Amino acid sequence: MTDAPPPPASKPPHDWRPDRFMVIAAHPDDADFGPAATAARWIDAGSVGWLVCCTSGDAGGEDSHADPLALAALREGEQRTAAAIVGYAGITFLHQPDGALANDLILRELLVREIRTFRPDAVFATDPEVLFHDGGGINHTDHRAAGMAAADAIYPAARNPMAFPGLAREGLIAHAVRRLYLFWSNHPTVHVDVSATIGRKVEALRAHPSQIRDPEGLDGRMRAWAAEEGAPIGAAAAEAFRLIVIDDDADEGPDAPAGPA
Ligand SMILES: [Zn+2]
């Protein structure tokens, strides 16, 4: 098989980059199947990234007799190895139940705590509006719950000084996330050229052997997917996101309008 040259670009690549970003994922391996190559590209360019896993994937196996706690420990270890390959500064596991993740006030407070602690400019999360993937299949309930919980934690809770006042008393003051990047969306709006870092994404995915059923075909599958997403910007590999701009760059600074409550 020979590599065909990419088709002519129909739009420019997305080149905005945050100083600090956070990935909020339902399961260990979601961030690596999701925005890992963009995360690696931004980290290589000087951004600082933090990963939050809402569950530890304790239901992500084929054996009904398996010990969920042992599986959770195994998958946390896999995710720590993968996160080191991508280059995250750190990772938090929220230990919520796999397969039963709920966008409730408990999860929201946990996420607001993470956001106010790390203070990211941008957050990656799964698109909560995807119930059925355009390419086929049902989107896992945890992916929908995690995406909705991330959106609700970002706005308005994390930036509202009166939300979760106990956090403020601990010194975790309000923080405004400016951009939300939704991955696995049916309606992507921006494409990031990841030609330089797609190999790191594959390497990070290889750190999840408990979840990869076809390790031989992994590299080809991931590069074919990335090539598809790269076509609109004429890149050999890209990751596509639905971008939600909450605060324009021009809105920065102490005089910025606070927005409606
Ligand atoms: Zn998942």
Helix/strand/coil (H/E/C) assignment for every residue in 47-82 = CEEEEEEEECCCCCCCCCCCCHHHHHHHHHHHHHHH
Q: Using alpha carbons, select from 64, 115, 118, 66 the residue that is nearest to residue 89.
A: 118
Whole-number Å distance, alpha carbon 33 to ligand 1 midpoint, is 9
Q: How far is the CA of 17 from the centre of ligand 1 (A)?
A: 25
- Whether the Cβ atoms of residue 86 and residue 32 lie closer than 8 Å to each other: yes
Residue 171: Cβ within 10 Å count: 8
CA of 121 to the centre of ligand 1 (A): 24
Q: Residues of 222-255 as b/e, b for ≥16 C-beta within 10 angstroms?
A: bbebbbebbbbbbbbbbbbbbbbebbeeeeeeee
Compute the distance from residue 227 Cα to the ligand 1 centre, in Å: 22
Domains of the chain in start order, with CATH, are 20-248 (3.40.50.10320)
Q: What is the pLDDT of residues 197-230, one digit of tens each?
A: 999 999 999 999 999 989 999 999 999 999 999 9
Q: How far is the CA of 6 from the centre of ligand 1 (A)?
A: 30
Between the CA of 27 and the centroid of ligand 1 the distance, in Å, is: 5
Per-block mean pLDDT, blocks of 10 residues, the chain (261 long): 67 97 98 98 98 94 88 96 98 97 98 98 98 97 98 98 96 98 98 98 97 93 98 97 92 50 46
**Spacing, Cα 15 to ligand 1 middle (Å):** 27
Please list, residue by residue across 100-132, b when 16 or more beta carbons sit within 10 angstroms of its beta carbon and e when fewer do.
ebebeeebbbbbbbbbbbbbbbbbbbbbbebee
User: What pLDDT does residue 251 have?
Assistant: 60
Centre of ligand 1 to C-alpha 163, Å, is 29
Nearest to 27 by CA among 62, 51, 2: 51
Pairing assessment for the beta strands 238-245 and 190-193 based on DSSP bridges: antiparallel
pLDDT reported for residue 61: 81
Determine which helix (DSSP H) or strand (DSSP E) holds 221, and give its type and residue range: helix 215-230
Going 18 to 148 to 229 to 10, the CA torsion angle's sign is negative
Give 142 Cα–ligand 1 centroid separation in angstroms.
7
Q: What is the DSSP string of 226-244?
A: HHHHHGGGT-SSEEEEEEE
143 C-alpha to ligand 1 centroid (Å): 6
**Among the residues of 87-197, which ranges form H helices?**
105-118, 141-154, 165-169
The 3-state DSSP class for residue 38 equals helix
Residue 12: count of CB within 10 angstroms of its CB: 12
What is the Å distance from ligand 1's center to 42 Cα?
23
Which residues keep their CB under 5 angstroms from ion ligand 1? Answer: 27, 30
- Amino acid letter, 165: P
C-alpha 1 to ligand 1 mean position (Å): 32
CA of 4 to the centre of ligand 1 (A): 32
Q: How far is the CA of 258 from the centre of ligand 1 (A)?
A: 34
Q: How far apart are the CA of 250 and the centre of ligand 1, in A? A: 35
Say how far residue 98 (Cα) sits from the centre of its chain. Answer: 17
